[in-house]
Amino acid sequence: MTKHDESRRPDELSPQQIIAAENLATGVTVTATAERLGVSRQTVSGWLNNSPEFRVQLNRLRRDLWTESRDRLRSLLPPALAAVDAKIMAHDADSWKAAIELLKMAKVAEVDLSRPGVRSGIAGEWSIEDADEVIAAMQDKEEAERW
């Protein structure tokens, strides 16, 4: 044990353990973590299996990473919705496809979205009437849920 290690409290992690926990939390394997630190794979495995403090730190880092990722994903929703909105409002050949995909993601399960072109008569294409039918069905569903 080095002088630095002797000065640490028993429940404190070494700088190597902190780095190892950071690596493992981000998906680096035990073997790769050991190689990066210049220690054996068994050393890193030992920290994982025998050090409650190490596991607490690792779980803390993983939780923080998930929280940060979730927050980042949430921050991307407004621009993603704006992009979908712009595509739908463009009224070009793909706008109805974007609209229907959005409805599918919104889980409009009660509406039969598998029959494009019912009113337009062109299989595989959606008409404005088809979209109106889907919107009306969604409104009916919302109205029924209120009662």
pLDDT tens digits, one per residue of 5-28: 555 555 689 999 999 999 999 999
Could you tell me if residue 81 is inside a domain?
no
Residue-number span of the structural domain to which 52 is assigned: 1-75
Q: Are residues 71 and 94 in the same domain?
A: no
Domain assignment present for residue 20? The answer is yes
Q: DSSP string spanning 35-101? A: HHHTS-HHHHHHHHHH-HHHHHHHHHHHHHHHHHHHHHHHHHHHHHHHHHHHHHHTTSTTHHHHHHH
The rounded Cα 1 to chain-centroid distance in angstroms is: 42
Residues sharing a CB contact under 8 Å with residue 104, sequence separation 6 or more, in sequence order: 113
* Residue after which a domain boundary falls, among 75, 102, 125: 75
Does 42 lie in the same domain as 5? yes
The model's pTM is 0.53
- Per-residue pLDDT in tens (0 to 9) along the chain, 147 residues: 444 455 555 568 999 999 999 999 999 999 999 999 999 999 999 999 999 999 999 999 999 999 999 999 888 888 888 888 888 788 777 777 777 777 777 665 445 555 544 444 444 555 556 666 666 666 676 676 766
The reported pLDDT for the residue numbered 107 is 63
6 and 29 inside one domain? yes
- From the list 118, 123, 125, 135, the residue with the least C-alpha distance to 94 is 125
Query: What is the rounded CA–CA span in Å between residue 90 and residue 105?
Result: 20
- State the Cα–Cα distance between residues 139 and 53, nearest whole angstrom: 54
pLDDT tens track for 105-123: 766 544 555 554 444 444 4
- CATH value at residue 45: 1.10.10
Interior CA angle at 17 toward 13 and 18, to 5°?
Answer: 80
Number of domains in the chain: 2
